[in-house]
Amino acid sequence: DIQMTQSPSSVSASVGDRVTITCRASQPISSWLVWYQQKPGKAPNLLIYATSSLQSGVPSRFSGSASGTDFTLTISSLQPEDFATYYCQQANSFPLTFGGGTKVEIK
């Protein structure tokens, strides 16, 4: 199975801050990396797929990039509605696997 290691597990930030979350795959996954946002009591919501493709309706302050097996989600200017938990998921091969999550908290 492909292991997805997400870091940090939590981050405290202020509105307007730039936030970066990293996900490392245990083996090559091409560009098949997905990011989801989950708010308490809600289902995950698709943000980015195929490393850097922004899902329709998602604000442009969210972006994704990759370097080898390291993938990054960047929020360029954190907004109040962005405080949530973020998960990465590899979509390269079965079994599909998720990272452990990163909780973005208010500083």
Partner 1 sequence: QVQLQESGPGLVKPSETLSLTCNVSGGSVSSTSYYWGWIRQPPGKGLEWIGILSYSESAYYNPSLKSRLTISVDTSKNQFSLKLSSVTAADTAVYYCARGIVMDRGVRRFDPWGQGTLVTVSS
Q: 49 or 75: whose CB is closer to partner 1? A: 49
What is the Cα–Cα distance from 99 to 23, expressed in whole angstroms?
7
Structure tokens at 52: 């850097």
Q: What is the smallest separation between the CB atom of 105 and partner 1, expressed in angstroms?
A: 15
Q: Interface with partner 1 includes 45 (CB under 8 A)? A: yes
Nearer to partner 1, 17 or 96 (CB): 96
CB neighbour class for 95 (10 Å; exposed up to 12, middle 13-18, buried from 19): exposed
Tokens 């997905």, located at residue: 34
Q: Residue 7, interface with partner 1 (CB under 8 A)?
A: no
- The yes or no reply on residue 94 touching partner 1 (CB under 8 A) is yes
Burial class, 1, CB count within 10 angstroms (exposed 0-12 / middle 13-18 / buried 19+): exposed
Among 13, 54, 66, 91, binds partner 1 (CB under 8 A): 91
- Interacting residue with partner 1 among 19, 21, 25, 34 (CB under 8 A): 34
Q: Is 62 in the site for partner 1 (CB under 8 A)?
A: no
CB 89 within 8 A of CB 4: yes
Contact residues: partner 1, CB under 8 A: 1, 32, 34, 36, 42-46, 49-50, 55, 87, 89, 91-101
